[in-house]
Amino acid sequence: MSVFNHKDFNDHEQVIYCHDASVGLHAIIAIHNTALGPAAGGCRMYPYETYDDALTDVLRLSEGMSYKNAIAGLPLGGGKCVIITDPNTPNKKQLLRAFSKHVQHLNGRYWTAIDVGVGPEDADVLAENCDFIFARASQYPTGFNPSLFTAFGGFTGIRAAAMHLWNSTDLSQKKVAIQGLGATGRELSRLLHEAGAQLVVADVNQEAVDFVVKAYGATAVSPKEIHAAEVDIFAPCAMGAIINDATINEIKAKAISGLANNQLATAAHGKQLMELGITYVPDYVINAGGMMGAGSRIFSKPTMEDSKERVSGLYDIILNLLKKAKNEKRPTSEVADEIAKDRMNHAKTNTNK
């Protein structure tokens, strides 16, 4: 299949296939849009079943990064990369070093960082041969994971959704279902627990579930049932497409506000959520906290306090988005896309003058 004919190719500026036979590297870099600045987005290491699956993921994720960075008000474009392998492979460091040279050759047109299968320590390995890596462990205090910025953004977004729906940010009487208890899902659980929320959780990793149940008094349910839990807010924090034809009519929550990428299986599901009376905080908006906190190192030298304050700005961004969508009686996903596109088009027009 030609990249240009791929169903998820949407005006991408550049798609690069990366290979190094000496270490068995197979990877793809997708740069979607650089109108607002250099493309930026994480490096995902995942054992895709096929190369086409990897291409689909990187095309969708890179486009999402363009929208995310634009609506977050960052001077960055959108890009993403995937390394096609199990992140537990014994030669992980060799693969990262080989791949980073491909990013270096782009000379700052694309910056990459942590993502699924690639942590802050791995980002330091990428930086051994590349100047365009952010969210590295060495950039933060010992033990701090930059993904915590994403979780804080998720908590901020849930507070904004609560204010929109119930005119209060008090979560002590709210029940929240969290699907996925990786680094961000687990930290989101902690923040919500401290805010007094009741938690319902699910993950394929039983150890992660047991930890959150014990630490935060959560109730565990099956990953296949979490979307249908009797809760006020559903927070998808696992893989994408959880809102689909099979699940959408089973959702009982009044709001969907979670950190997973590409939560809608299709754009049509955004409209369906509106028709069902469910408030949806678009995924690339609420999970922008990671880029707002860590990505700012690409163009500035923020302190930890600066970074956290920038992420706190998501509250107003999300609240204004929800109000605009309600006033115009349009899906939040549609309104968010429009805002992001307008910013990118405006920047491109000014650049071409």
Hey, which residues are catalytic here? 80
| Placement of tokens 């959702």 in the chain | 251
> Rounded to the nearest 5 degrees, what angle is found at the Cα of 326, between the Cα atoms of 323 and 331?
110
CB 217 within 8 A of CB 193: yes
Q: Residue length, the chain?
A: 353
In angstroms, what CA-CA distances link 61 with 148, 170, 200, 223, 263?
Answer: 20, 33, 28, 23, 11
CB 120 within 8 A of CB 140: yes
CA separation for the pair 217, 331 (Å, rounded): 34
DSSP string across 249-298: GG---SEE----SS-BSSTHHHHHHHHTT-EE--HHHHTTHHHHHHGGGG
CB 146 within 8 A of CB 124: no
Report which of 6, 30, 4, 7 is spatially closest to residue 17, judged by C-alpha positions: 30
CA separation for the pair 173, 234 (Å, rounded): 15
